[in-house]
Amino acid sequence: MNYLIASVVTLVAPILWVCTLLGLPGNWGLLLLGAAVAYFNTVETHQDVDFPAMITLLVLAIAGEIIEFLAGAAGVNQLGGSRRGTVLAVVGSLVGAIVGMFVGIPVPFIGSLIAAVFFGGLGAFGGAIAGERWAGKDWDLSIRIGWGALWGKLLGTLLKTICGTVMMVLLIYSVWF
């Protein structure tokens, strides 16, 4: 039973990490996975996601969300973007990431991840432009704000994924050792 729980966590954690990369709440899934292992843990299994590990997972999940939001919003707001531009950049990035995941690049597994990040950035770019044009701004400013959204989205995704990587490694280490 020890190896079964550790193996399941080792298989599920990378899937949740990929969800983080795609803009989905994968870090929260990692936190819930750790909580499930901690809650259902018995003395006989010796898998132990202890209290300090759970607090670390929680802090990293919150930090990842804050960092991603601030980076994405800063990309739009720093250049004078509107609330509409920010909201549509977030929506565009999510839609773009999902489209990219299915369109993919013809390289197994990694191609879909690269395309999801790329299309997520393009979605943020397009969403910010649409939001700024809707708010009545001219094309030049809208495009500059769109570029800010794209780079903010990519930076936010990178930093949140780094938090998710640390969470995944901590969780897998906790169940195996």
Mind listing the pLDDT tens digit for each residue in 140-163?
A: 999 999 999 999 888 988 999 999
**pLDDT score, position 46:** 59
DSSP string, 99-159: HHHHH--SSTTHHHHHHHHHHHHHHHHHHHHHHHHHTT--HHHHHHHHHHHHHHHHHHHHH
User: CB within 8 A of 84, min separation 6: which ones?
Assistant: 131, 132, 134, 135
Band of residue 47 on the pLDDT scale cut at 50, 70, 90:
low
Q: Is the pLDDT of residue 1 over 60?
A: no
Say if CB 84 and CB 137 are below 8 A apart. Answer: no
The pair of structure tokens assigned to 16 is 């949740």
Q: Give tens-digit pLDDT for 98-141.
A: 888 788 777 776 777 788 888 888 999 999 999 999 888 899 99
**pLDDT score, position 32:** 94
Q: Average per-residue pLDDT in the chain?
A: 86
**pLDDT score, position 43:** 62
Full-model pTM: 0.78
